[in-house]
Every structure is written in structure tokens, then in C-alpha cells.
Amino acid sequence: MKKEVELRKAKWLVEPGCVVMVTSGTVDKANVMTFSWQTPVNTADPCLIVLAISHVRYSYELIRQNNELVINVPGEELLEQVHWVGQVTGRNVDKFKASGLTPVPAKVVAPPLIEECAGHLECRVKDVFGMETHDLLVCEVVRALAEAESFDGMWIPEKFHTLHYLCGNRYGVMERSVEAQGTT
Ligand SMILES: Cc1cc2nc3c(=O)[nH]c(=O)nc-3n(C[C@H](O)[C@H](O)[C@H](O)COP(=O)(O)O)c2cc1C
């Protein structure tokens, strides 16, 4: 038996990919926010990722100042920090200091990487599509970095557990992969 789902809750049927932490600003004045509404576009060169960001976020202001950001991939062990930086605005609080996350300089862009995360995508905003409450930022990845023992062309879920946003304060944890037997 299937049940009707209210349209305002329909988005929760399509889990949007691993939760990430996006850094903006500069190493000296950095901010971090949690994201789950992002998707890679299936293009190889350039590598593009679309982020949906609300206009009211402090990060939105910072990102639009220099059109640069870093997408950081946290593991399960960062659950509490992930949830907290996704609840509090950086307008009045230094979220790096308060959460104990460590900003380290990126190579190509101004915003820092988060040391405790296992993957990093340094990005420049290439295009912006405005919507009523959110903008879609089309980001070009200009440098990518991943923890060598957890990533060999894909995350190895037996070694590194990405978080997946379910709703409210519930997260799923990626713990295993399965292999299809058909032709690839
Ligand atoms: C799991 C999770 C996912 C989130 N995804 C998004 C998102 O994709 N886009 C967005 O605009 N806000 C998202 N948020 C909300 C922001 O992270 C939150 O409002 C944050 O406090 C903004 O910080 P800032 O004002 O310092 O930029 C998410 C929050 C959580 C907890």
C-alpha cells in the first residue's frame, strides 16, 4: 500500500546526496554552513556542481562577494558539527572557533578547507540562476582533494561513512556498497 505525501514534503522522497559543509570568505574571516541541496552535473570537463542556497544565509553574502567557495565532505564522526553549523548563522558567531573545526588555506581560492573533512572541492561560481527564495549557483570545480585511503575514484563506504540528510535532525550513514552484475 502506498500513501499520498503532502507536496511540501515531497522533496524528502529524493535524498539529495551526501551532506557537505561549504566554506566562504577568507582564511582570516571564514564562514561555514551545512548543505544538502546540491548536485553534481553529469559533465566531465569542466566539473560542475549546482548548489541551491537561500538568499538569507550569511554564506550567500560572502560567496557573492568573490564568487568562490569550498565544498567539504564530512564523515559520520562530524555529525554534531554538521548539524550545528547548519542551525546557527555566522553573522554574529565565529562558527570555526565555536565548533572546533580547523580552517586551512586552499590552493586556488580564498575560502579555507576544513581540515577535519575527508574531501574538498575548491570552486568558482560560474553562473547564477535566481529563484524567489533561493539562487542556484553553478560552481566550477578548480581543484579537488580526497583522503587517499577512503577514496579510489569513489568513496569506499566500508572505510568512510558519508552523511545523508533524511529530515529534521535525522541523517542516514553510508556504510556499504553493492555491485550490480549486469553489463556496465
Ligand atoms: C543538513 C542540513 C542541510 C542544509 N542544506 C541547506 C541547503 O542546501 N541550502 C541552504 O540554503 N541552507 C541549507 N541548510 C541551512 C543552513 O546550513 C543554515 O541556515 C546555516 O545556519 C546558514 O549559515 P550562515 O547564515 O552562517 O550562512 C541546511 C541545514 C542542515 C542542517
Asked, for residue 97, whether it belongs to a domain, the answer is yes
Asked, for residue 33, whether it belongs to a domain, the answer is yes
Residues 96-153 pLDDT 10s: 999 999 999 999 999 999 999 999 999 999 999 999 999 999 999 999 999 999 999 9
Spell 132-165 as b/e; 16+ CB within 10 A means b: eebbbbbbebbeebbbeebbeeebeeeebbbbbb
- The enclosing H or E element of 103 equals strand 103-104
Ligand 1 nearest atom to the CA of residue 31, by list position = 26
What's the gap in Å between 73 CA and the centre of ligand 1? 15
Asked, for residue 178, whether it belongs to a domain, the answer is no
Residue 107 in grid coordinates: 590552493
Residues 48-93 pLDDT 10s: 999 999 999 999 999 999 999 999 999 999 999 999 999 999 999 9
Domain total of the chain? 1
What's the gap in Å between 131 CA and the centre of ligand 1? 17
Ligand 1 nearest atom to the CA of residue 59, by list position = 27
Q: CATH code at 93?
A: 2.30.110.10
Asked, for residue 156, whether it belongs to a domain, the answer is no
Ligand 1 nearest atom to the CA of residue 56, by list position = 25
Tell whether ligand 1 has an atom less than 6 A from the beta carbon of residue 165: yes
Tell whether ligand 1 has an atom less than 6 A from the beta carbon of residue 139: no
Residue range(s) defining the domain that contains residue 114 = 19-147
pTM (two decimals) = 0.96
Asked, for residue 100, whether it belongs to a domain, the answer is yes
